């Protein structure tokens, strides 16, 4: 299939230039309408005025990785699943304006009522990790497992950071969604249902949870590459594996290296290294603390004054926490600035544009998941919600 995943393709060039779409990707790059100029000094006041005019009809969600200029207008901040839950808990809000990325808005649409409309201020705000597992690729993987004779004993588990189509596949095949907070519980549930797990789409969260939390070895994990026949694995490797990890990763958390950790310890022997489980296994193994975004925030809230921390997660959040806790030394784990580029597409001009469109009676950039996909995806999400 020609498209986004083929290096050097015309389609890739068009996407990078901000034109065109890819049917195999959750991302679109269309943003109809004229955006306010980023230099407009009245943007903050325009956002306030539009939000006030809309009143309770609009509910603004802001992911932790968003810019401060956007977060200031959020009614609730949090990680992707917390925000989707918050949207579902606000049935009176006609419009859910999601300042995050595409898969998050899809989850909100799945969990909210039919009378509510979920809006993404910039349709180009996708997720490279979610894009690494397309529905057709996962269906091919499942066919490979069926041919080898292990699909019947394999339970699919998908990270929240996946498209609605992948969540729908997982729900259809009796699997479950997980977050970085409950991946251990989700995997234990999966092993109660079957003998093996297909973990999508982040290899690092799956590997780290298996080894650190469930006590398996690295040899129990194999990596399925969707761009190679049979995932680049032999039939025997698939049959012997306890978990089949998808070859996907987070472009932000994947940048942190063991050298980053060693350099921080050399500069400050008292530093506490804290990283997200989307980081590589060797980074997680070398860290002092490992946990989800919400875990990282809680740890820093409870940390004693004067303590030193190097945090391996998205820079907007690290910088915000450093400003929030000036009595603690909080720094970014890598010397290289590392924002989530797609998350940062939601800026103040896009937020103002979306709000003013709503005030004018036009509903922009709605995110809608088809009914069949939403039903299966909801099954996978409900299984997660039922975890003890």
Contacting residues for 1 by C-beta, under 8 A, at least 6 apart: 24, 136
Are 279 and 253 in contact by the 8 Å Cβ rule? The answer is yes
- The reply to whether 161 sits in an annotated binding site is yes
- The reply to whether 160 sits in an annotated binding site is yes
- The reply to whether 224 sits in an annotated binding site is no
- The reply to whether 136 sits in an annotated binding site is no
Minimal CA–CA distance to 51: which of 382, 360, 355, 387? 355
- The reply to whether 379 sits in an annotated binding site is no
Contacting residues for 120 by C-beta, under 8 A, at least 6 apart: 98, 100, 101, 102, 105, 346, 365, 367
- The reply to whether 336 sits in an annotated binding site is no
- The reply to whether 208 sits in an annotated binding site is no
- The reply to whether 180 sits in an annotated binding site is yes
- The reply to whether 293 sits in an annotated binding site is yes
- The reply to whether 127 sits in an annotated binding site is yes
- The reply to whether 251 sits in an annotated binding site is no
Q: How far apart are CA 134 and CA 262, in angstroms?
A: 36
- The reply to whether 295 sits in an annotated binding site is no
- The reply to whether 344 sits in an annotated binding site is no
Which residues line the annotated binding site? 63, 80, 127, 159-161, 180, 250, 276-278, 293, 340
Residue positions forming the annotated binding site for iminosuccinate = 63, 80, 159-161, 180, 276-278, 293
Binding site per annotation, positions for [4Fe-4S] cluster? 127, 250, 340
């Amino acid at each position: 299939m020609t498209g986004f995943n083929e290096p050097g393709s015309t389609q890739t060039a068009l996407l990078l230039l901000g034109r065109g779409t890819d049917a195999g990707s959750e991302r679109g790059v269309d943003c109809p309408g004229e955006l306010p100029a980023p230099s407009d000094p009245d943007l903050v006041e325009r956002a306030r005025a539009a939000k006030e005019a809309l009143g309770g009809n609009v509910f603004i969600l802001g992911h932790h990785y968003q810019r401060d200029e956007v977060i200031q207008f959020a009614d609730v901040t949090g990680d992707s699943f917390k925000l989707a839950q918050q949207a579902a808990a606000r049935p009176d809000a006609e419009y859910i304006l999601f300042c995050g990325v595409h898969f998050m808005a899809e989850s909100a649409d799945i969990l909210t009522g039919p009378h509510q409309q979920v809006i993404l201020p910039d349709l180009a705000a996708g997720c490279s990790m979610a894009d690494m597992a397309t529905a057709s690729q996962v269906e091919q993987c499942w066919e490979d497992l069926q041919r080898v004779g292990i699909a019947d004993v394999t339970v699919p588990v998908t990270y929240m950071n996946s498209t609605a189509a992948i969540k729908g596949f997982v729900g259809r095949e009796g699997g479950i969604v997980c977050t970085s907070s409950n991946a251990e519980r989700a995997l234990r549930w999966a092993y109660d249902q079957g003998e093996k797990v297909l973990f999508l789409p982040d290899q690092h969260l799956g590997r780290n949870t298996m080894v650190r939390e469930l006590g398996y070895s690295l040899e129990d994990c194999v990596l399925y590459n969707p761009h190679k026949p049979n995932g680049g694995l032999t039939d025997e490797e698939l049959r012997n594996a306890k978990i089949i990890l998808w070859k996907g990763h987070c472009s932000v958390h994947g940048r942190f290296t063991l050298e980053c950790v060693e350099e921080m310890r050399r500069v400050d022997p008292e530093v506490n290294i804290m990283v997200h489980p989307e980081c590589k296994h060797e980074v997680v193994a070398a860290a002092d603390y490992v946990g989800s975004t919400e875990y990282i925030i809680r740890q820093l809230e409870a940390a004693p004054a004067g303590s030193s921390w190097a945090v391996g997660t998205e820079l907007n959040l690290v910088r915000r926490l450093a400003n929030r806790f000036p009595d603690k030394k909080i720094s970014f784990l890598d010397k290289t600035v590392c924002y989530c580029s797609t998350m940062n597409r939601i800026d103040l001009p896009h937020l103002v544009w979306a709000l003013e469109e709503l005030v004018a009676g036009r509903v922009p950039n709605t995110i809608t998941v088809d009914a069949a996909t939403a039903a299966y995806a909801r099954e996978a999400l409900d299984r997660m919600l039922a975890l003890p």
